[in-house]
Structure 1
């Protein structure tokens, strides 16, 4: 971010407005600042709106120095003179009758001005703002967005976003919310982005775009990267290795994947350099040791084995070499994945001698970061367990960012501030400097799930999920941000006297997917989809009955947990029969069921309080909350049924079988209610359509709606009546 040494002033003038008594006075504000500073201009636009809403008007003027009459002063000063304020931090203070907003860079000043605007929006005046000094808790606050072209996942869930993701209006709105929520890195992911960005000098056949098409792509990327920088956001592109475009493979006689030939190596190195040189606002390049950098031979991939050293050598000789050959520096993001090795990665980063700290992103609890804040497993180890070699010993030239993947809720709104606060508190360490947040199988662009009707007042999917982004961004910047800020967002959005009931309801409702992902251990993307109660593919943590993607009662019973503080159904029942107490600090399935019921009751109570509000978009949010409440009840009763059914199966207690049947029948009524609510405003949507390896077993995961799985909910009752553990199709 560009540092500024200019002094920006906000001056106050008073006048007697029209239509007021002689005693009353209104203030006319003169905002003086360097109008060439884009991030601060963005912040001042929010201040202007807040003041106008409060009944004040402003003028703006350029004032670089020395206005003695200034009443509100926004100062950007060199860091060495304000060493107590970190980069992207700010201070709001008063000096006699003057208000001071002080920062050491333009992004910090932007955040400070937006803080002032927010406080005014919450009812304060410029004279009564809360004084504070705020520094970013984490320096990397990144969003992960997959691009629909050259996409890692395939199928309609990706392809239907293509037009929206080529529209700069979408990106302007997306970047606006990023800046407002204090995100500072936009990472854009696809298999091979380079052929969409440049016509390679020495490999012009790498893409078949015409000169006009290439010019259109160039304008798109240039504008996108510039808009990001103007909002204090660093744009990164991230690719998978080893991959080339289909055009390149055809024209130069190589394979699209895992081709380590000299021509592919040279092309990769040169195209990285060219992209950096042609896009001066591009801030970073990310690299991935992808799935197809195989370490085994198969009929489909008969290429030689690639050891961890081979993979890192490839990255060193292509991506890293391309970065170092460019005419300016960019930051490096080195993803840590299953085929990585911390020692080999350290070697490459050490040898690179890059001027900036390298980012090393690690998936927190693999693809399901919205689970427990306990780091139970990473994607780095073949065992699926933690691999601390990335941070032990403490690295000197790179830092870790946790990737919080969301493959668990795409349709229903979500927001749980205390989970995020706990996560940050528990996982901040000397080797950690940030988080990435985002999905692999979902792009927050076109909202394809919601029926078009009068209460759909948002245009894009991320706008419907506004609370998700606000909570993650603001709390990554400052975990001490009070709930009052988020409550005020609800109050202002829906003209409520207080937003507390809404935030309370969301906090309770949003526990359901966290609790399921913590209880039902999973790994990669499609091993769990919490809002759908689906597990299309096995995570090798219990039986997979191959009957449906839906998590059956058998699968729930025979599955291990992710959170080590949770007790599985099998272990609990076995322990209970030998009078073994649940250890202190551990949560049994029945205790978890009680927590889910309490969550559900909180949601129902708050929704009833809010129902009289006539706002139709608020009613839509309330419907999501109700859906979570019934999903919580469904999960709670299914846990109880699992305990009862397992008890019957082990000890032939018929009363336990009848109890299980009763509870699963109650589950059916909960699921029917879920289907009734969601069918009123959501379409059936593509889920893993176009990405199936078990055609017959998982065909019911191609497209998703809650009503599609009603037969599977009914099947659970039959399984309990039958009594046998393994169901025969």
Structure 2
């Protein structure tokens, strides 16, 4: 048995952690009882802990219940990985590397009050889930297990679904609704809920507003019992869900009724939910842009938080203003006198965190802005909706390169896919949480941002325990598979998610038209490399090749192609060995199939990148006909590579409608476009 006693032993987070440890140790060969003495020690850092072996058991010292919970969880994993042998567990002391470690969840509350991701299959399927308390219990347990302590809920217009506003009571929506009509929104978030959708509404759950408010109070209390703070973020300015109210509300910041409504809506949220710990805002993507946007935010959201703090002087509320659609100097000017905690949110790697381990967007920004304001980083993962990712080396280096002295924390998540349950998998019909399916990725980022010095053996041991195969070997293969897309992004870069989705080699052409496009050979030639990512683009490299004696002192597209090919070949070889004797459909099998898919994709990108170099050289100098022939030959190979990839992944994943691509994406639909690359090379 596993016993816990002493300071804070009866606290909910500690009880949760002790239960997880007992679960992990079931079936281990510990050979007897294990006890842990808990000691409250105010010298320990906030949420940190000190672990020592003592008299055949352990002592954990911490200054708060969060530190005690994390100490128990880390001890439990170490014991489980050592088959319960206490003598194998090392003493350790941990100070959190990053204080606030958050998940960004674009929450689909109701068809009438959408989030930014709601024009997608994942959001449609998730609406009933977010009104299921068991969903949130499982979600928050997973977050705590992975060492996240912030859940940020993002919505265009959350208020009608979450709160009764005393000054605007008729905006409160009863029941939870979906629509049979698919949203066809603009990129700004406008037209996310329309008249035709209203005609197609149907209820998925009957709930009064009182029941809804009780529900979210329970969710926030559950979060608090896992040492997790809940924040609410909005895009502006949207009044979805108020269309049937009599108040003449519009998405116009110059409408005085709308301004009053937003102020009272935020104030009502804060008064209704005393555990709501933060408000985040965006001055877009549907505001006037006439110089009054930040002033509006300050006089509605900011004033509501300020007035709440005046009424509740002991309360702590964090106010986070995003940089999107806003000038930094104007934000600082308008919020200079703000009395509470005020911070700025910045997209650290734009929409593609799986790229450089040392992105230069924030360093470039901070050089131009001398400020003491603290920041939050949005870590946008719009690269992996399907495939499991796992690279401890990448995560560790990425986090080590962060300017942690300048930041309070981060929020990790996507805009184009809802991180609820996984409804894309054809094989696993249990619909696990996305963060459970992607458990290793989520745990890596949470664990390492909490304890940057966590040893590699800790992760390899967990892989071995979970998958029943040699952990170090599996980790080595998974790292290579996970580096294919991040390596490619160094030479093929787009800032935004709709401009590039790597798992499907496609983008949304917008503006001036809005259509789904396969990234053809012309796009591969024209695309720039990641700014200050250490690589030269295809076009720049082709021009260098035509200058006699020209040397290139950065990484070239051909070198990137070779690296991707080596990764892909290594992964395919190792997967073939690892899957021998592996039961079809088991967790290891599904992981290996994701790795195989990434290797197929890497082979395609490698050869297509080489073809782009050859074809670009020929188009600059048509006398080099052999370059064209080389490109055509490679593109013939690529057509086969893509068909292998598309047919393979369609066995495991359903085609989906993705929010930021505004389209239904089917990999086999692109088979024809992969063939047409040959025509583009031969005939242009």
Q: TM-score, normalised by structure 2?
A: 0.88
Match of 1:19 in 2: none
- What whole-Å deviation, never above 9, does each CA across 1:263-303 have from its counterpart, x for those lacking one? 222332223222222222222121221211221xxxxxxxx
**8 Å CA contact retained: 2:481, 2:571:** yes
Tell me the distance in 2 between the aligned counterparts of 1:654 and 1:155.
Answer: 46
**Map of 1:646 onto structure 2:** 616
Q: Does 1:314 align with 2:331?
A: no
Q: Which residue of 1 aligns with 2:78?
A: 119
* CA distance in 1: counterparts of 2:411 and 2:88, whole angstroms: 35
The 1:169/1:494 distance shift into structure 2, 3 A limit, reads same
Residue 203 of structure 1: aligned partner: 168
Taking the TM superposition and a 5 Å limit, the aligned residue runs for 1:16-31 are 30-31=3-4
Whether 1:536 and 2:495 are equivalent positions in the alignment is no
Query: SS at the partner of 1:260?
Result: coil
Corresponding residue to 1:253 among 228, 237, 248: 248
Secondary structure of the corresponding residue to residue 517 of structure 2: coil
What secondary structure is seen at the aligned counterpart in 2 of 1:141?
A: strand
Deviation at 1:450, TM superposition (A): 1.2
> Aligned in 2, Cα 1:41/1:143: closer, same or farther, shift over 3 Å?
same
Offset from partner CA, 1:9-36 (integer Å, 9 cap, x none) = xxxxxxxxxxxxxxxxxxx554324454
SS in 1 for 2:474: helix
Name the residue aligned to 1:381.
Answer: none
CA distance in 1, matches of 2:331, 2:367: 10
Task: Assess, with a 3 A threshold, how the Cα gap between structure 1 residues 643 and 566 changes in structure 2: closer, same or farther.
Answer: same
* Match for residue 225 of structure 2 among 230, 233, 255: 230
For residues 493 and 160 of structure 1, the distance between their equivalents in structure 2, rounded to whole angstroms, comes to 29
Q: Structure 1 residue 340: deviation in Å? A: 1.5
1:360 equivalent in alignment to 2:328: no
Say which of 424, 430, 438 aligns to 1:465.
Answer: 438
In structure 2, the residue matched to 1:194 is 159
Task: Please say if residues 516 and 530 of structure 1, whose CA atoms lie closer than 8 Å, have aligned partners that are also in contact.
Answer: no
- Quote the Cα distance in structure 2 between the aligned partners of 1:74 and 1:244: 50
| Residues 129 and 135 in structure 2, CA contact (< 8 A), matched pair in contact too | yes
1:379-418 equivalences in 2 (<5 Å): 386-388=364-366, 392-395=369-372, 398-418=373-393
Match of 2:37 in 1: 73
CA shift at 1:712, angstroms? Answer: 0.8
Q: Offset at 1:608?
A: 1.9
Partner secondary structure for residue 155 of structure 1: coil
Residue 574 of structure 1 pairs with residue 543 of structure 2? yes
Given candidates 300, 313, 328, the residue that maps to 1:342 is 328
Shift in Å, 1:142: 0.5
* Residue 194 of structure 1: how far off its partner (Å): 2.0
Match of 1:290 among 253, 275, 284: 284
Distance 1:313 1:284 in 2: 15
The one of 660, 668, 676 aligned to 1:715: 676
Q: 1:244 aligns with which of 236, 239, 243?
A: 239
Deviates more, 1:529-538 or 1:229-238: 529-538
8 Å CA contact 2:642, 2:671 repeated in 1 = yes
Question: Partner residue of 1:382?
Answer: none
C-alpha separation in 2, matches of 1:361 and 1:38: 31
Aligned CA-pair RMSD? 2.6
Deviations 1:399-421 (A, max 9, x none): 21211112222011112222222
Match of 1:182 among 140, 147, 151: 147
- 2:36–2:58 Cα contact (<8 Å) kept: yes
For residue 494 of structure 1, what is the aligned residue in structure 2? 467
Distance apart, 1:503 and its partner CA: 1.6
Structure 2: gaps of 5 or more residues:
176-205
The worse-fitting range, judged by mean Cα deviation, of 604-613 and 313-322 is 313-322
Corresponding residue SS for 1:99:
strand
1:554 corresponds to 2:522: yes
Alpha-carbon distance in 2 for matches of 1:309, 1:504:
48
**SS of corresponding position for 1:246:** coil
* TM-score relative to the length of structure 1: 0.83
Give CA deviations for 1:427-474 in whole Å, capped at 9, x if unaligned: 2242123221101121122322111x4x55662332221122111111
Is the alpha carbon distance of 1:58 and 1:190 closer, same or farther for their aligned partners in structure 2, counting shifts above 3 Å?
farther
Is contact 2:506–2:518 with CA below 8 Å preserved after alignment? Answer: yes
SS in structure 1 of the partner of residue 508 of structure 2: coil
Q: Which moved more, 1:214-223 or 1:245-254?
A: 245-254
Aligned to 1:668: 639
- Closer, same or farther in 2 for the Cα pair 1:177/1:547, shift >3 Å? closer
Following superposition, the deviation at residue 98 of structure 1 comes to: 5.9
- Give a deviation string over 1:593-643, Cα, whole Å, max 9, x none: 011011112211221221113232222211110110011111110111011
Please list, as runs of the form range in 1=range in 2, the aligned pairs for 1:139-158 lying within 5 A after superposition. 139-149=99-109, 150-157=114-121, 158=123
1:372 matches 2:356: yes
- Quote the residue 1:270 is aligned against: 264
Secondary structure of the equivalent of 1:579?
Answer: coil
Residue 9 of structure 1: aligned partner? none
**For 2:430 and 2:117, how far apart are their aligned partners in 1?**
29
Q: Which residue of 2 aligns with 1:40?
A: 14
Aligned residues of 1:684 and 1:704 also touching (Cα < 8 A): yes
CA distance in 2, matches of 1:510, 1:140: 26
Q: Deviations over 1:113-149 (max 9, x none)?
A: 1111111101152344201111110001110000113
Give the Cα–Cα distance (whole angstroms) in 2 for the partners of residues 153 and 510 of structure 1: 25
Does the C-alpha gap of structure 1 residues 58 and 198 become closer, same or farther in structure 2, counting only changes over 3 Å?
farther
What secondary structure is seen at the aligned counterpart in 2 of 1:289? strand
CA distance in 2: counterparts of 1:58 and 1:197, whole angstroms: 50
Question: Structure 2 vs 1, CA of residues 129 and 715 (structure 1 numbering), >3 Å: closer, same or farther?
Answer: same
1:331 to 292, 297, 317: 317
SS at match of 1:532: coil
Secondary structure of the structure 1 residue equivalent to 2:638: helix
Post-superposition shift, 1:252? 0.8
